[in-house]
Amino acid sequence: MATVEEESRRLEMLHAALDVIVERGFPDTRISDVAEGAGVSPALVIYYFKTKDRLLAEAMRHSEDVWYAEMQRRTEAISSAAGRLEEVVAMTCLPNRDPSSGESWAVWLDLWAQALRDPDVRTVREEFDEHFRETLRQIVRRGEAQGEFHDVDADDFAVAYSALLDGFAIQIALADPVVGPERAFDLAMRVAANELGFEWRASRAKRGSTRRVR
């Protein structure tokens, strides 16, 4: 009953909020923009989320949840550890192979900046990062178990490698002239191959592994 439509309304608003955040940036997101994007009145947005901060924090959480679920979904389908790792790197480096997740990078930068002061956002970011590291740890452990990887400290690797990917994400988000997506992808994979001791042929098709290039 109402709950279903209520929920879909909530989602519409969250997606609208994310669109605005991507377009205008977190601090300049106005609830009237979000309302317009969702096709409702500003008052209703407040009615649903009580306050602007809560709305934005929930939008962030939603965004991260969707992204993480998508990563899980994709890696599960891959059997080799190196392949799973490659998929993760592709998701963080290469521009949307799937159209669903609109520019995540921009949102990340806002997320980090916002996490400095907003406790809710800080929590979202901490959880997301920990999830991400855990994913890396598991990939490494399974890769070791399957004999694909050298033995390394999975936790150390996860911490360092997620930092590396975050750093590349910054360059990509800001469209750095020196560090494009393909180069970041390539470098990240070379580091992984070197650190974990697996073979990786750089010549392989860089992006079109499964989905179209936009």
25 φψ region: left (φ > 0), alpha (ψ -120 to 50), beta (else): left
Among 133, 148, 158, smallest CA distance to 81 is for 148
In whole angstroms, give the CA distance from residue 54 to residue 65: 16
6 makes contact, choosing from a second copy, DNA, none, with CB < 5 to 8 Å by partner type, with: DNA
Give yes or no for residue 8 binding DNA (CB under 7 A). Answer: no
Residue 61 CB neighbour total at 10 angstroms:
19
197 makes contact, choosing from DNA, a second copy, none, with CB < 5 to 8 Å by partner type, with: none
54 or 190: CB nearest a second copy: 190
Burial of residue 65 (number of CB atoms within 10 Å: 0-12, 13-18, 19+)? middle
**Of the residues 11, 32, 69, 130, which one makes contact with DNA according to CB under 7 A:** 32
Give yes or no for residue 7 binding DNA (CB under 7 A). Answer: no
* Longest alpha-carbon distance in the chain: 58
Buried b (16+ CB within 10 A) or exposed e, 156-180: ebbeebbebbeebbebbbeeeeebe
Q: Which stretch binds a second copy (CB under 8 A): 58-66, 141-149, 178-186, 204-212?
A: 178-186
**Of the residues 23, 25, 40, 166, which one makes contact with DNA according to CB under 7 A:** 40
For the chain, the straight-line distance linking the first and the last C-alpha, in angstroms and rounded, comes to 38
Which residues inside 88-117 make contact with a second copy, applying CB under 8 A? Answer: 106, 109-110, 112-117
129 or 144: CB nearest a second copy: 129
Instruction: Using the Cα atoms of residue 211, residue 167, residue 122 and residue 60 in order, give the sign of their dihedral.
Output: negative
In whole angstroms, give the CA distance from residue 15 to residue 62: 9
Which residues inside 42-71 make contact with DNA, applying CB under 7 A? Answer: 42-44, 46-48, 51-53
Binding site for a second copy (CB under 8 A): 24-28, 106, 109-110, 112-117, 122, 125-126, 129-130, 133, 156, 159-160, 162-168, 170-171, 173-174, 176-179, 183-184, 187-188, 190-191, 194-195
Binding site for DNA (CB under 7 A): 1-2, 5-6, 9, 28-32, 40-44, 46-48, 51-53
